[in-house]
Amino acid sequence: MAGLEGVEQPRQRGGATAARWVLSADDEQALKALELFGDPTEEEVRLPSRPESAATARRLTQCVVLRQWALTPQIAEHAILLVSELVGNAVRHTGARVFGLRMLRRRGWIRIEVRDPSRGLPCLMPVHELDTSGRGLFLVDKLSDRWGVDLLPRGKTTWFEMRVCDR
């Protein structure tokens, strides 16, 4: 590097570490979403019940799982997909104006919750190979270690949990 000859440079420890040094456009959008809507690890983040909110929820999940919690890219990929499915269900099936997103971590586990004002329960349907829709809860069931629904006095919380390795 020009002007820094003789100064010891940090060593790169592989592609994943080097990639963290430079913010990608996705990282920037994720950080912007965190600034705009809040940190779902500190309190429930309320998002408008519109299809485009799924992208915001994915960005928030990416930021939390990869940057704050420093979990593996595979855990992040699964968590992002499952958040997208739960948000899609909340937007499509509840008629709500807003929904809530919350992310929790305890030793060996992460838990992600989507709260909406409907008390209608989601239903895990059988999935066939050529189905083009209705796979959301099937994916949640297959990719998470546990999932469920907690009924509230006004609405419900649909959640999933995944085992993670603590470093």
In the chain, pLDDT over 90 holds for what percent of residues? 60
* Per-residue confidence (pLDDT) for residue 167, from 0 to 100: 64
Coil, helix or strand at residue 37? helix
For residue 113, the tally of other CB atoms under 10 A from its CB is 19
Closest C-alpha among 103, 109, 68, 107 to residue 86: 103
pLDDT tens digits for range 79-133: 999 999 999 999 988 888 999 999 999 999 999 999 999 999 888 877 777 666 6
Residue 45's pLDDT band, with cuts at 50, 70 and 90, is very high
